Amino acid sequence: MDNKLTILVTGAAGFIGSCMVQYLNNLGYDRLYLVDDFGVEEKRKNWESKKFLAIIERTGLFDWLDENKPVIDIFIHLGARTDTTEFDYAVHETLNLEYSKQVWNYCAAKAISLIYASSAATYGNGENGYKDDHALVEKLEPLNPYGISKNEFDKWALLQTPQPPCWTGLKFFNVYGPNEAHKHRMASVIWHSYNQIESGGLVKLFKSHHPAYKDGEQLRDFIYVKDVIAVIAWMMQTMTDKQWDKAHNALYNLGTGQARTFTDLVKATFAGMDLEPNIEFIDMPEDIRDKYQYFTQADMQKLKSAGYTEPFHTLEEGVTDYVRNYLRRNASY
């Protein structure tokens, strides 16, 4: 392992990005450039104690790169507008599509390996399944502007001839874990559940508005953030050790491969707080009702075929760690 690598991380003050930075620090990497909107005070505790070379404002990144000409070994692009309830596509187009094209072109021109965040939101309601097959990308019909912007970038990337030497696009499924409090409405159901239990002793879950699913039995592939960052670090190390087969440059699902119900999730949250479950079902807001995914489950065969063999946390293991070691202690990762 070469701890002297220089790594640039976008979204570094956000949820997954800040956990990524800490994980890299834990592995001995401190030659890091952190990119984000650092004016958001709520994000400060996510990044201020990390070890890094410099912080760079998101909007000034490419001017900074042109001016400073840093030597970068790996570009981890996790920054995005992730609000699925933001229906102004222009916002997502600017931050998720056009910005990502600039990242790609920079990495291709400078021969920098790139790992970027895509999303399971690209799969829409799942009519084409959840297989990370490049042949399906053009057929996908995301349900919201966020998912559309992510899929448009995936489509664009797959058509490019100038490419980074090594690259992967990771389709994150439902990621949960520490450092997500600033996301508010878009934070995980676990974060919301914990806070509802703390304030009122019960959790309110959305009713099902789909005849095939009972209330609380909507299914998602929930993945603990610690598994996500472990996969990214493995890809980074494999790429820099020259062990990455160029044939593995591709889009990859990043879930557990096992869908679980929201009721399971909430029961695990109560268990992490040493309490008996107390769940109430409420109507889903109308603005997301027809944009709602009732089932997601990642096909994980491609990642396994690329050589990743580590097991993922079960839902109960991940939620217990998150609740007991972070939420109950008001601790950051």
Structure tokens at 145: 């502007």
Which secondary-structure segment (H or E) carries 75?
A: strand 74-77
Give the N- to C-terminal CA distance of the chain in Å, as an integer. 23
Token duo for residue 82: 């992730």
Helix (H, G, I), strand (E, B) or coil at 219: strand
- Note whether 256 and 227 are within 8 A (CB): yes
Nearest to 258 by CA among 282, 223, 225, 228: 223
Q: Which of 220, 228, 214 is nearest to 16 (CA)?
A: 228
Residues in the chain: 333
Q: Is 138 exposed, middle or buried (0-12, 13-18, 19+ CB in 10 A)?
A: exposed
Q: Which two tokens stand for residue 206?
A: 């959305």
Contact 233, 26 (CB under 8 A): no
Work out the burial of residue 162: count CB atoms within 10 Å of its CB; fewer than 13 is exposed, 13-18 middle, 19 or more buried: exposed
Tokens 């075929």 belong to which residue?
305
Distances (CA, A) of 84 to 45, 105, 148, 187: 24, 26, 10, 11
User: Which residue from 110, 116, 127, 128 is spatially nearest to 153, judged by alpha carbons?
Assistant: 116
146 classed as catalytic: yes
- Is 45 designated active site? no
- From the candidates 23, 106, 116, 146, which is the catalytic residue? 146
**Catalytic residue from among 183, 204, 207, 302:** 183
Dist CA 113 CA 121 (whole Å): 25
167 neighbors 74 (Cβ within 8 angstroms): no
Helix (H) / strand (E) containing 154: helix 145-158
Which positions are annotated as active-site residues? 146, 183
